[in-house]
Amino acid sequence: MQRYLIIGSMLLCLSCQPQESRVSEQVQPDVEPKVTPALSEESPPIQRVVAFKFKEDASEEAIQAHMKYFESLQDSIPQILSYRAGETFPAAYENTGDYDVLHYATFESEKAIEEYFNHPAHQRFIEVNKDSWANVIVLNSQVRE
C-alpha cells in the first residue's frame, strides 16, 4: 500500500510541473529555435520604395536629371546601404499603378531613414526636383529572408 502512495505522489508531482518545463523537454537539442525579428538582437534591413509620378509637362531631360540626382544620393548619404531604380511600364494583365519611376534604397534602421531624410543632400534633391512631380508615394518594409 505504501508503494502505491509513493508512486501516486510522484505522478501527482509530475502532473503539477509548470507547462514550460515539460515543453522544453520536448525540444530537440540539435535544433535551433527560430527567433522572430522582433525578438532578435539585430533588426532586418529596411527597404524603402519611393515612387514618383511626374507632371505631364515634365521634360525627358528633367526626368533623367531627377534619376541621376537621386542615384547620386548614395554617394553623399552613408545611411543608404544599397540603391536601385527604374522606370515603370504598363502590363495589360495587372493594375500597374500611376507612377513613372521607382527608387529602391536599403537602410539598416528607421533611425537611418530619418537621418537620410533630413540629410542636406536629400533636402537639396527635394528642392531641386519637386516642381516636376505630380505625386510621390513612399513605402517602407523590413526585408525578410
* Average per-residue pLDDT for the chain: 79
Judge whether 1 lies within some domain.
no
pTM for this entry = 0.68
Judge whether 35 lies within some domain.
no
Judge whether 89 lies within some domain.
yes
| CB 110 within 8 Å of CB 67 | no
**pLDDT tens by residue, 61-78:** 999 999 999 999 999 999
CATH number, domain of 107, equals: 3.30.70.100
Average pLDDT value for residue range 37-54? 79
Judge whether 21 lies within some domain.
no
Judge whether 84 lies within some domain.
yes
Total domains in the fold of the chain: 1
Judge whether 109 lies within some domain.
yes
Kindly tell me if the per-residue pLDDT of 83 is higher than 90: yes
- Strand order across the beta sheet in which 46-54 lies: 82-87, 101-107, 46-54, 133-142
Q: DSSP string of 25-37?
A: HHS-TTSPPP--T
Q: What is the pLDDT of residue 27?
A: 41
Judge whether 25 lies within some domain.
no
- Across 29-38, 105-114, 132-141, least confident range: 29-38
Integer CA distances (angstroms), 80 to 90, 91, 118, 142, in order: 29, 30, 13, 15
Judge whether 30 lies within some domain.
no
Provide the residue range defining the domain that includes 93: 46-142
